[in-house]
Amino acid sequence: MNRQLQPLSRSPRYAFFDVDDTLISVKSMLSFQDFWYQTYRDPEAEQRYRQDLTNHLHEGACWSTLNRLYYRHFAGRRVTEVEQLGRQWFTRERKNPAFYHQSVVNQLRWHQARGDITVFVSGSFPALLHPIAEELQVDHTLAIQMEAASGCYTGEILPPQTIGEGKAEAIRAFIQAIPVNLSECYAYGDDVSDLPMLSLVGYPRVIAGGRALEVHARQHGWPVLAPH
């Protein structure tokens, strides 16, 4: 989603935001899968999905590997059904007063008030991220793009994979035609997998509570923000 940009006399400033556990308090992908299997009963498919979580979701997990495994469970799902259920998922989750990390939303509003361009950079997918971006008036979304054929997902994802180093790759591709000085830009993340994105900008901001990132932040003098 793109909001019409006004000409600027200076290079635009960007603020890049991870979403899950940074801006919102839930892991959108895992929450959505629970919602999917509640809506479309398929015990065998659900068992395979949960077995993957058991095998691969742990403290030292490789987020990129887990991310690819996750999207394989979308194979055969109709694109329109996923998009519709994504909206329903957001409507349900938004009823939780703690859905957003308010302190991070306040940072987002600060950037918007001073004219910065806000961008989501997430390993989640557009059907979940677009409703959030619309509500918060975020300018752009860099997210996982799932391959589709004949109106159904294949279970494969298209490059770049917007997680880990792929977040930095996606940002570089996004700004390649724009005169952006990344040393003047901000990025917000909570997990060690956000490190490539955070290292790309002049003003990295770490949200407390994620894996292995706070120690790095303190060693390098990066601000650590409480989510609440």
Residue where the block lists tokens 């015990």: 43
Q: Is residue 5 part of a domain?
A: no
- Residue 64: burial class (beta carbons within 10 Å; 0-12, 13-18, 19+): middle
Asked if residue 94 belongs to a domain, the reply is yes
Nearby residues of 133 by Cβ (< 8 Å), 6 or more positions away: 1, 120, 141
Is 2 inside a domain boundary? no
Asked, for residue 3, whether it belongs to a domain, the answer is no
Q: Do 152 and 78 meet the contact criterion of CB atoms below 8 Å apart?
A: yes
Q: Provide the greatest CA pair distance for the chain.
A: 57
Nearest to 15 by CA among 163, 98, 136: 136
Residue 140 CA, chain-centre distance (Å), reads: 12
- Looking at the domain assignment, is residue 8 inside a domain? no
Do residues 112 and 92 touch, judged by C-beta distance below 8 A? no
The pLDDT assigned to 60 comes to 67
**4 domain-assigned:** no
Which CATH number goes with the domain that contains 206? 3.40.50.1000
Whether 162 is covered by a domain: the verdict is yes
- The 10s digit of each residue's pLDDT in 24-76 is 999 999 999 999 999 999 999 999 999 988 887 777 668 788 899 999 999 99
Q: Is residue 9 part of a domain?
A: no
The per-residue pLDDT for range 157-196, each reduced to its tens digit, is 999 999 999 999 999 999 998 889 999 999 999 999 999 9
Range of the domain at 110: 14-225
Please tell me the pTM assigned to this model.
Answer: 0.92
Number of structural domains found in the chain: 1
Tally the C-alpha atoms within 13 A of residue 175's C-alpha that lie toward its C-beta: 21
